[in-house]
Structure 1
Amino acid sequence: MHTILPFLLLMVAAVVLLEMWAGKLKIAYPILLVVAGLVVSFVPGLPPVKIDPDLIFFIFMPPILFEAAWSASFKELKKWWRIITSFAFLVVFFTALSVALIVNHYIPGFTLPLGFLLGGIVAPPDAVSTAAITKFVKIPKTTSAILEGESLLNDASSLIIFRFALVTVGTGQFIWQEAATSFVWMVVGGVGIGLLLGWVFVKMHKGLKMDTSSNIAFTLIEPYFMYWLAEQAHCSGVLAVVTGGLFMSTRRLQFLNSSSRIQAFSVWESFVFILNGIVFLIIGLDLPEIVEGLRAHGTPLSTAIGYGAIVTAVLIGARIISSYCAMLATYIFRPGVAPRAGSRSRLLKLPLILGWSGMRGVVSLAAALAIPVTLDSGAEFPQRNLILFITFVAILLTLVVQGLTLPLFIKYSGVFNGLMSEEASEHARQEMKKGLKQHIYKFLKEKHDGEFHGHAGIEKMLKIWEERTSSTEDTFSNVKTKAIFVELLESQRQYLAELNKDPKIDEELIRVQLYQIDLEEERLKII
């Protein structure tokens, strides 16, 4: 313990410092973390880093997925569910199939089941990398919603392929009926368990009347329960966490008070940042062990690098092809929601950017490490070390090559110019705030004429909001009658919740305003 603790503390410190440096360099921090881990791994005398795949799957994955689901807009996911599910399932399967066919043809000793195993490992893009990279450029809400939604589901589909391929390699046979039944159960069971536990946790938060600390602590363990129970039932733990997180996210106003929402945001943001940072650092640190295993089996390093480059090219090509097919299908079957780019050349670049945004990361590494060393018969698992090395090369190349060029590509291609109007966004924000002011004045007017006619504090408040309805001033006045003010804030939340049902309203604007209302309620408590 005394040797592990300093190492973990150093890793956390390195993650924080490298993230700060990445911000100054204006590059995504996962790129810098992987490269830093790779450089550190070559330091003489450094003990080899051995990673337990269960550590990543069970310790790291549930909270990362839960936070991503909590941050996602369910309204946007519902709006773009067709293209999101096609990318999360069909594109992942197409990518795995492409990898399987190519490696079966080019790499000696790679059977189709082994190819599907490798394809399932490297097929899913990494959500953290994409989000970290795209924050340096402006992309339309549509594109970001598709990327977010895809990242929530593609891990589950790729791990399902991985499991089936692993069984096929171990047993030497693939039974379609059993595979289909197992697939349906993994998906339906995972979603069902996630929704059930999400409902139970919401009821527990409300029924137990937890304080702020208890609320936040409970949210930290909830994704682990979802993941563990689903895996015990042989369902998809990833889908359980995602669906449970989405269910609870849409009901956050019902079971979390303002203090819990504000403090949970900071706690979760820091917690997930550290988890992501450690995993990306570990990816680089793990290279010496992978290379050592490769050399032990006599595979030349240059040959293995070549195989990794081929697989990476297949991943990029398959995703780009899939993006163009998705756009074509959208124009044929759903022309009403098809993107409008303004010109044919810019329209043709949209799928290219979507295809170029498929950086690999945490899930791929964990899945590769989860391959057993031996088969059930005791024989050595075929091509395990080469699969590990190819996975590492795919992660490194997609992060560095695509990660560094994607912001430049978006910036200089001009594909999103004109698609995002800052004036339109500001107009929507002002319209929302104007409507909110009018709602507040109406609320106070009804209270004043009904219950509190002649009350000096309410009359003063009414006068203030009467002036604010025709003013652009955003300063908030002190209020003596706290009980009425709290009721006023709750009325604003209900108004925004109803406003959010309008598909034209950006949910991010609603969430920002709700956060400000929570801050107002917290400020009221200390007046």
Structure 2
Amino acid sequence: MHTVETVLLVLLLGAITGIAARYLRAIPLPLIQIMLGAALSWPQQGLHIAFDPDLFLLLFIPPLLFADGWRIPKREFFSLHRPILRLALGLVLFTVLGLGYLIHWMIPTMPLTVAFALAAVVSPTDAVAVAAITRNLGMPAKTMHVLQGESLLNDASGLVALKFAVAATVTGAFSWADAGQEFLWVALGGLAVGAALGWAFAVGRESVTRRVGDVAATQMVLLLVLLPFAAYLVGERVGVSGILAAVAAGVATNFADLRRGEFLAERMQTEGIWNMVEAAFNGAIFLLLGLQLPSIVGDTLAAAGDDWWRPAGHAVLITLALLGLRWIWLTLGVRGSLWRAHERGAMAEKPSALLDLATTLAGIRGAVTLAGALSVPLVLQGGTPFPARDQLVFLATATILLTLVIGSVGLPLVLRLLPPAGEPVALKEERWARVAACNAAISHMASQLSTTKDPVRQAQVQEAVGRLTQDYRKRIDMLEYPAAPTPEAQAEWPQAVRQRRERYLLEMELRLSALHVERSALYVERQHNRINDESLRALVAELDLSEISLRKRLVVARRAVGDMEDGQGPLQE
């Protein structure tokens, strides 16, 4: 099949499986995509795609890691840096050494350096698969932030460890001092390159958009999409980690975005573009992974003949050992830092055996593992085949599949056993921020009353300010819990609060239905040729923005009314 046709087919299947996952909620989306890819390539005449690991790392990994670095909450990322670094760096080293020696003991025909290479390949985790599996299952928010931070950084540490293991296999020489120096150069250099490029882009964007405003929004978004590729390529050309460069560029760009509150068009286009890129690339990654499975797994098991159980058993044992080492490291090496984070308020959930188990099962392997395994060279310097390469690729691929299946089955079961966390801290902070914004708006409108001395103008301003202030106070009533009433009014107070909130909820629902009627009327006007397409798009865009805001306020209103009905209202607090 032609390359262009293949790319279009993969994107099409990614979109279709994303829709199918909405109906098959019991099966995580990555598992659906892997199974579909395997089904397409299983027959002899099925879809077969040559997998170029270098091209794969360039096209798919940088934008996804850039988006993760751009989206991850920076406050939580830096406040939880100790457990994140211990997982992203310490756990990788612990896995490479512990699992490497175990693999060499279990498979004596595999040289120790190759065993270390396999352990390095399977050390990075895949937060995309974890997020897909734990969606709507109640994974504690701060634990998810730790997992996201781990996956952002351990890709680079795992690939660096793989590089040294392969070099030791090819050359027969290894130096811990050289490895340590090289790792510091690769890691710190990658972060510096990415941060510098992100900062340079931010400065250039600021210079342009301060002059022309949102007119250049589309061009700026296009440059932003190209930024992770530039960071990766520059990092690799300099000799540092292109993966960490893409992550650092995303983090730096997000910090610059904090000063760009007025650029509405650019912000909305950026959000929409990244949502599409993430959905398309994530789907393509897991479909490509599924397309490789039958040939890798089938060929290895077929070559083993009647002893097919031996490589299959090795894969199961390596997967269990990988999860076991992760649990040991979490229990002995990370729980202390998690406790300290909990005590200082950086982490709401208390460390526990169940939370350790959930975090262990969340150690799912994915695309970077497959790309790393396939990047192992075919031959050594003398032209002899790389020892046990096919075995390494099979075991890495099987580990991806097994961790995904174990996580898909085990994580939902464990998460259901975790105690309810109550209202997430992020929702409380969001509510407080909304109240602060409303109060700031009310104060601003009050200051407008003294801006004119014209009596007519003054009356108009007072009337407008009164209407708007009333609307803001209704929103505040929905968001904040008022002070406790007197004992005499204690019995009637909850009912009065509920009625006030229900009236506001009804008003929001009526406004939303009115917006739908407005939009339908605009389309009728266009169908009768009373307005043109340009006018239709402009008017509908205004209504769409209003509906987005109104829908969000409606969600908050429904949540507030639901809290009262569930007994979590003001009296209980």
TM norm structure 2: 0.77
Residue of structure 2 in register with 1:462 after alignment: 465
Pairs within 5 Å for 1:296-311: 300-311=307-318
Describe the SS at the equivalent of 1:371. Answer: coil
Describe the SS at the equivalent of 2:60. Answer: helix
Shift of the alpha carbon at 1:48? 3.1
Distance 1:469 1:3, change over 3 A: closer
Q: Percent of pairs identical after alignment?
A: 26
Shift of the alpha carbon at 1:382? 0.9
Describe the SS at the equivalent of 2:259. Answer: helix
Which runs of 5 or more structure 2 residues have no equivalent in the other structure? 210-214, 476-503, 512-543, 551-573
Shift of the alpha carbon at 1:314? 1.2
Distance 1:451 1:110, change over 3 A: farther
Shift of the alpha carbon at 1:96? 1.7
Structure 1 Cα separation of the partners of residues 395 and 168 of structure 2: 21
Structure 2 Cα separation of the partners of residues 203 and 467 of structure 1: 41
Distance 1:72 1:340, change over 3 A: closer
Shift of the alpha carbon at 1:53? 0.3
Distance 1:174 1:350, change over 3 A: same
Comparing 73-82 with 301-310, which one deviates more in the overlay? 301-310
Pairs within 5 Å for 1:373-392: 373-392=378-397
8 Å CA contact retained: 2:286, 2:367: yes
Distance 1:81 1:461, change over 3 A: farther
8 Å CA contact retained: 2:80, 2:341: no
Shift of the alpha carbon at 1:469? 4.2
In structure 2, give the amino acid aligned to 1:62. Answer: P
Pairs within 5 Å for 1:171-182: 171-182=171-182
Residue of structure 2 in register with 1:62 after alignment: 62
8 Å CA contact retained: 2:155, 2:368: yes
TM norm structure 1: 0.83
Comparing 255-264 with 310-319, which one deviates more in the overlay? 255-264
Structure 1 Cα separation of the partners of residues 448 and 375 of structure 2: 62
Distance 1:328 1:425, change over 3 A: closer
Aligned: 1:471 with 2:440? no
Shift of the alpha carbon at 1:293? 5.9
Residue of structure 1 in register with 2:539 after alignment: none
Describe the SS at the equivalent of 2:380. Answer: coil
Structure 2 Cα separation of the partners of residues 383 and 452 of structure 1: 87
Structure 2 Cα separation of the partners of residues 427 and 201 of structure 1: 34
Distance 1:200 1:331, change over 3 A: closer
Instruction: Choose which of 274, 279, 282 in structure 1 pairs with 2:285.
Output: 279
Comparing 144-153 with 42-51, which one deviates more in the overlay? 42-51
Structure 2 Cα separation of the partners of residues 220 and 470 of structure 1: 41
Residue of structure 1 in register with 2:76 after alignment: 76
Pairs within 5 Å for 1:163-242: 163-209=163-209, 211-242=216-247
Residue of structure 2 in register with 1:443 after alignment: 444
Aligned: 1:317 with 2:324? yes
Structure 2 Cα separation of the partners of residues 47 and 332 of structure 1: 50
Cα shift readout 1:474-526 (whole Å, capped 9, x = no counterpart): 889x9xxxxxxxxxxxxxxxxxxxxxxxxxxxxxxxxxxxx9899679xxxxx
Name the larger-Rg structure. 2
Aligned: 1:121 with 2:121? yes
Distance 1:460 1:199, change over 3 A: farther
8 Å CA contact retained: 1:77, 1:145: yes
Aligned: 1:368 with 2:377? no
In structure 1, give the amino acid aligned to 2:378. Answer: V
Instruction: Choose which of 358, 365, 388 in structure 1 pairs with 2:363.
Output: 358
Residue of structure 1 in register with 2:492 after alignment: none
Which runs of 5 or more structure 1 residues have no equivalent in the other structure? 479-514, 522-527
In structure 2, give the amino acid aligned to 1:232. Answer: R
In structure 2, give the amino acid aligned to 1:57. Answer: L
Comparing 370-379 with 386-395, which one deviates more in the overlay? 370-379
In structure 1, give the amino acid aligned to 2:104. Answer: N
Please provide the CA RMSD for this pair: 2.8
Describe the SS at the equivalent of 1:174. Answer: coil
Shift of the alpha carbon at 1:171? 0.7
Structure 2 Cα separation of the partners of residues 179 and 194 of structure 1: 22
Cα shift readout 1:266-286 (whole Å, capped 9, x = no counterpart): 111111211111111111111
Shift of the alpha carbon at 1:49? 2.3
Residue of structure 1 in register with 2:423 after alignment: 421
8 Å CA contact retained: 1:49, 1:289: no
In structure 2, give the amino acid aligned to 1:218. Answer: L
Residue of structure 2 in register with 1:34 after alignment: 34
Structure 1 Cα separation of the partners of residues 439 and 57 of structure 2: 49
8 Å CA contact retained: 1:34, 1:280: yes
Aligned: 1:259 with 2:265? yes
Shift of the alpha carbon at 1:254? 3.1
Structure 1 Cα separation of the partners of residues 333 and 545 of structure 2: 38
8 Å CA contact retained: 2:323, 2:360: yes
In structure 1, give the amino acid aligned to 2:395. Answer: I
8 Å CA contact retained: 2:83, 2:338: no
Describe the SS at the equivalent of 2:113. Answer: helix
Shift of the alpha carbon at 1:331? 6.8
Residue of structure 1 in register with 2:85 after alignment: 85
Cα shift readout 1:215-251 (whole Å, capped 9, x = no counterpart): 1111110001101111111111111111110111122
